[in-house]
Structure 1
């Protein structure tokens, strides 16, 4: 009973914010469908994601500094309102038949910027309302809700868009925003996070403090750099998967195979929720990623069966929430609360900038290297036995390359990370990770 009471604010914040994220994700997917109906261009719809993601990568460091400089709750409320206003603008333009492609790009850029500023504040808010002993459990619950949103938003958005139109999807988005906004405004009380200075600090200086903290705390920095490499391989995988599946089995099978990753994330989130505290969280991080990258890519490269591809997706993604929960615990426990916003923002830039690079690299390698190579060597029976023949065999070859790259990355960085041993009781609260080396 006491534990439930201590997590009451977290449950309110987590559930309502997750509901709002579901509404936002539904609108994003519905806008993609609307734009594709209007243009028939895959590049035009892909640009929506680029416009959303670019502010996140470019502005995260400064966004974290802003988060630490200003009140966390007010920052979240202001960002929510501005993001909601962009959704209202889309609704008005749509109802007046004035909505065009450039409107969506501009709106997505603004929404992406608001999310960039809000996320560090939200991370700190969760730290402030969660007792330290519940960090792993709450991190797993956040991963679970993210997985459910990833699975449910395309299905719900597609169904609602087809039955009732874009305006119905936007109405649901605004309703979920209102619920999250009122819950944050009325029911969440965040303790003040004082700074030991009486003068106004510049954002650029605060951003440098985040970078300085990472430089001085090698455990946190090395985990971030490791995950940056993992994201490079994983995003390249995302670019290659359609080229592997669609030529052989079509769009519907791609949807089924892709959904298996979401199902695996849900299962993994439940697993992370009930797992006991590990003896060494750093070891869990690199071993789970070694298992994921060292199995899934090879299984998809050497098989031509959708059943095995689904199994590969489940194997590859089921331990990702376990990794994520352990990384979150290290970050929350190692970084002083008053610095978390700027350090999380630096983490976002350093850990996720490789994602667009990986997407571009994976697509380029399949189209310009691997598929031409397999076409030229189509008579080679050994290559045909390994990767198949015809279109899609080059993607299978690229999956093999990614399997090798992921395994080498995890083994190489694993040797570096082995020198760290992180446990929750290693140091007093607020000092964990300060000197967590063997």
Structure 2
């Protein structure tokens, strides 16, 4: 592992980068298309729900099979399934069927593929790299996601200006091909004591229960999940409303929407770079709690800005992106360090589901909030709640002890 992990990750990262940048471009192109075609917060919220809810519902079941299946093959099949769904959507658009229902269905099916791909990817990392390098690797992963967040929206805005939405979707398929090809060139070992037997419903339920008990049995990890769920409940509606805040409050257009998406990626790039180049000795829980506070402040402050202060909104967005990057990398590393490799698929899947399901409830309220509370007031209220989560975390002893051993 010490000798080969860098080569394996280089190949893996190249494929993932090309896949992420194409997906980022396509996702932003869809956001632009929906925002300009409908101008509706509810439509954006329903699209986000379609992309999240299926993953949340099948996530716990997917995690059981991820821990039983070959993780490399799982990622390849998941990427292939997502690519096929995107191709179907592209063909439909090409034939002139620009249906919102079709978009929701295809986003839902893509979410099913993600339910297997993301946990399998996170569960494979500790099998490829030394434990002491996990935080650095998480930082580099954040760099890759950040560069994709920077270049993807720029590419998506350019593509939607030059091509039809159906042709833009083909970029995602090209990226998936690169990701699958890269996986073919590396070996991902399976964890020790891997159970490859076919699972009955009783066995699946039992494995899910074991994964749940692993989380509940670790009091600090339980608090970490709880606070993350509360924060994400507040973050998801704000994330959906970012394009509408740019358009309606700051009077922006495609260019300004692209700037905000790109600058969030710039902030994430800076945060990931800090972890990838410099391994901090700061307790990772302190990083997580502090980033909750900073993210909340940037959201609340954005809501307080006057419509003429778009430049300051850009600065706050960059700071929020940096905080999100540091949070994500530290959170992922804590879980990878605390949980045995043969349990990671279940734990990551349970986490994604526990976060997404409450977030969907928040998203369902997005249209009501935007129409009756106001977009700027929403940013203020939810931002303050997110910061409160970070403050409360510092006063939770079990959480503060997590990861110190």
TM-score tier by shorter-chain length is 0.7 to 0.9
Which deviates further from its counterpart, 332-341 or 312-321?
312-321
* Aligned positions of 1:92-111 closer than 5 A: 92-97=91-96, 100-111=99-110
User: Is contact 1:281–1:421 with CA below 8 Å preserved after alignment?
Assistant: no
User: Is contact 2:150–2:262 with CA below 8 Å preserved after alignment?
Assistant: yes
Which deviates further from its counterpart, 147-156 or 321-330?
147-156
- Seen in structure 2, the aligned counterparts of structure 1 residues 260 and 210 have a Cα distance that, compared at 3 Å, is same
* Aligned positions of 1:39-188 closer than 5 A: 43-44=42-43, 46-97=45-96, 100-166=99-165, 168-185=167-184, 187-188=185-186
Give me the whole-angstrom Cα distance separating, in 2, the residues matched to 1:45 and 1:409: 26
1:216 equivalent in structure 2: 217
Structure 1 residue 180, shift from structure 2 partner: 1.6
Structure 1 residue 243, shift from structure 2 partner: 6.0
The reply to whether residue 411 of structure 1 matches residue 391 of structure 2 is yes
**SS of the residue 2:396 aligns to:** helix
Give me the whole-angstrom Cα distance separating, in 1, the residues matched to 2:311 and 2:137: 33
- Seen in structure 2, the aligned counterparts of structure 1 residues 131 and 222 have a Cα distance that, compared at 3 Å, is same
1:303 equivalent in structure 2: 305
2:363 equivalent in structure 1: 359
Q: Deviations over 1:308-331 (max 9, x none)?
A: 222222333322222222212111
Give me the whole-angstrom Cα distance separating, in 2, the residues matched to 1:129 and 1:216: 27
* Aligned positions of 1:417-436 closer than 5 A: 417=397, 420-423=400-403, 426=405
Structure 1 residue 268, shift from structure 2 partner: 1.2
The reply to whether residue 402 of structure 1 matches residue 403 of structure 2 is no
CA RMSD of aligned residues (A): 3.0
Give me the whole-angstrom Cα distance separating, in 2, the residues matched to 1:247 and 1:29: 18
- Seen in structure 2, the aligned counterparts of structure 1 residues 138 and 4 have a Cα distance that, compared at 3 Å, is farther
Query: 267, 275, 278: which is aligned to 2:281?
Result: 278
Q: Deviations over 1:65-114 (max 9, x none)?
A: 11112111111122222222223333444444556444333322221101
Q: Which has the larger radius of gyration?
A: 1
* Aligned positions of 1:186-205 closer than 5 A: 187-195=185-193, 200-201=198-199, 202-205=203-206
Structure 1 residue 43, shift from structure 2 partner: 4.6
- Seen in structure 2, the aligned counterparts of structure 1 residues 408 and 35 have a Cα distance that, compared at 3 Å, is closer
Give me the whole-angstrom Cα distance separating, in 2, the residues matched to 1:409 and 1:99: 41
TM-score (norm 2): 0.86
1:381 equivalent in structure 2: none
1:389 equivalent in structure 2: none
- Seen in structure 2, the aligned counterparts of structure 1 residues 316 and 213 have a Cα distance that, compared at 3 Å, is same
Structure 1 residue 337, shift from structure 2 partner: 0.5
The reply to whether residue 317 of structure 1 matches residue 318 of structure 2 is no
Structure 1 gaps of 5+ residues are 372-394, 427-438
Structure 2 gaps of 5+ residues are none
Give me the whole-angstrom Cα distance separating, in 2, the residues matched to 1:68 and 1:423: 23
Structure 1 residue 221, shift from structure 2 partner: 1.9
- Seen in structure 2, the aligned counterparts of structure 1 residues 169 and 243 have a Cα distance that, compared at 3 Å, is closer
Give me the whole-angstrom Cα distance separating, in 1, the residues matched to 2:157 and 2:399: 48
Give me the whole-angstrom Cα distance separating, in 2, the residues matched to 1:198 and 1:301: 51
Q: Deviations over 1:172-193 (max 9, x none)?
A: 33332222212212x1111122
User: Is contact 2:288–2:331 with CA below 8 Å preserved after alignment?
Assistant: yes
- Seen in structure 2, the aligned counterparts of structure 1 residues 160 and 136 have a Cα distance that, compared at 3 Å, is same
Which deviates further from its counterpart, 20-29 or 322-331?
20-29
1:391 equivalent in structure 2: none
Structure 1 residue 271, shift from structure 2 partner: 1.5
Q: Deviations over 1:394-421 (max 9, x none)?
A: x444444334323332222321156533
- Seen in structure 2, the aligned counterparts of structure 1 residues 213 and 37 have a Cα distance that, compared at 3 Å, is same
User: Is contact 1:280–1:421 with CA below 8 Å preserved after alignment?
Assistant: no
Give me the whole-angstrom Cα distance separating, in 2, the residues matched to 1:39 and 1:189: 46
- Seen in structure 2, the aligned counterparts of structure 1 residues 34 and 198 have a Cα distance that, compared at 3 Å, is closer
* Aligned positions of 1:212-361 closer than 5 A: 212-239=213-240, 241=242, 245-252=246-253, 253=256, 255-293=258-296, 295-304=297-306, 305-361=309-365
Structure 1 residue 423, shift from structure 2 partner: 4.9
Structure scoring higher RCO (CA < 8 A, sep ≥ 6) equals: 2
For these two proteins, the number of residue pairs brought into alignment is 398
